[in-house]
Amino acid sequence: MDRYAFYVWGSYLAALILVGGEVALLIKRKNDLKRQASLHAGEKPGTSEFEL
């Protein structure tokens, strides 16, 4: 594995970063939407009953 470790682990690290990034951005988008919904409802952010 020694000679190829950089390429093999680099590939799986890239996969982890891209998949993790996609999930993180999606959670951020959901939280932004939640906050927006709370503000529209005149509530303090984070207290809305709304759940995705």
Tell which one of 19, 24, 35, 43 touches another protein (CB under 8 A).
19
Residues 23-42 touching another protein, rule: CB under 8 A, are 23, 26, 29-30, 33, 37, 40
Helices of type H across the chain: 5-40
Alpha-carbon distance of 4 to 7, in angstroms, equals 5
- Chain residues binding another protein by CB under 8 A are 1, 3-5, 7-8, 10-12, 14-15, 18-19, 21-23, 26, 29-30, 33, 37, 40, 49-52
